[in-house]
Amino acid sequence: MGIPFTSLGESGPPLHFLHANGYPPGCYQPLLNRLSKQYQVVSVHQRPLWPDSRPAEISDWLPLTADFLRFLDDRQEGTSVVVGHSVGGIVALRAALLQPDRFQALVLIDPVLFPPSVIRTWQVIHKLGMVYQVHPLVLASRNRLRQFDDKERLFNGYRRKQVFRYMDDATLHAYIDGIACPENSGYKLCYSVEWEMRIYVTSVWHDMDIWRNLPGLKIPLLVIRGAETDTFWASTARRVIRKAPATRVVTVPQSTHLVALERPAEVFQAARFFLQEIL
């Protein structure tokens, strides 16, 4: 079975998009609609969205990059731009480090990349077998509402949540449409809670390879980060620039790790300016 994907746009150069944990491609409609006016956008559905995939299949994120490269092989894709958000950014970065000739440029949106000291801490936590108990996002995922009967009621509840404070009504509606799959007389989460937790607990600990290989990155790199992110820190941005001096970093005001959903126009403009200049 081929890896599923969603495509938008009929003209322009190819662009592959890789989504975040818990955020299917439909959540990014305001951003992808903008990108599709200039690019042929292919949104790859990562393993948690595949039918019959099992969270126990992975112990780190390396298989997700292998999946993406297999997707390109299966479709016999030529070189392209690749854009990734959060875990999608790490998948894209690893792919570019492994096979740089396949990519023209790389845009990472608030990637899940932490400094070596944090990576070493998570390595210890993994060895102790405590990652499900310690990871700060696992409890929130476990308590997520998995089924609901009314998207408008869900919107009204989410509208009051602090985490969505920077999303306007249109982008919040797009997010809800993206996470909701019809089921019987209501809806369920398209992205399972079990997979969401598994992606969290298999993160970070295996990422020293990224820091080792980053000085050898051979393609143009733009990182777009939220000014209030708790994920891609300003100190991490400085470290990336030291390792790969040609990297550009754009910080978007009044945004968080969800900057791709909160500020789609600003993210698009930053990516477009970068890509027009280098391609």
Please check the confidence at residue 225 and state whether its pLDDT lies above 80: yes
At 133 the pLDDT is: 94
Please check the confidence at residue 21 and state whether its pLDDT lies above 90: yes
Please check the confidence at residue 1 and state whether its pLDDT lies above 90: no
Local confidence band at 99 (pLDDT 50, 70, 90 cut-offs): very high
Residue 96 class from Cβ within 10 Å (0-12 exposed, 13-18 middle, 19+ buried)?
buried
- Cα–Cα distances (Å) from 153 to 89, 148, 171, 178, 180, in that order, read 32, 9, 16, 16, 13
For 168, residues 6+ apart whose C-beta sits below 8 A from its C-beta are: none
The CATH architecture of the domain made up of 5-278 is 3-Layer(aba) Sandwich (3.40)
Q: Give the number of other Cβ atoms within 10 Å of residue 194's Cβ.
A: 14
At 278 the pLDDT is: 87
Percentage of the chain with pLDDT > 70? 100
Local confidence band at 17 (pLDDT 50, 70, 90 cut-offs): very high
Local confidence band at 139 (pLDDT 50, 70, 90 cut-offs): confident
At 140 the pLDDT is: 85
Q: Kindly report the average pLDDT of the chain as a whole number.
A: 96
Alpha-carbon gap, residue 258 to 246, rounded angstroms: 25
The identity of residue 204, as a single letter, is V
Please check the confidence at residue 193 and state whether its pLDDT lies above 90: yes
Local confidence band at 110 (pLDDT 50, 70, 90 cut-offs): very high
3-state helix, strand and coil shares in percent for the chain, rounded to the nearest 5? 50, 15, 35
The domain locations on the chain are 5-278
State the pTM of this model: 0.97
Percentage of the chain with pLDDT > 90? 91
Q: Which of 165, 160, 9, 171 is nearest to 81 (CA)?
A: 9
What is the mean predicted confidence (pLDDT) over 148-165?
Answer: 94
What is the mean predicted confidence (pLDDT) over 117-123?
Answer: 97
Helix (H, G, I), strand (E, B) or coil at 173: helix
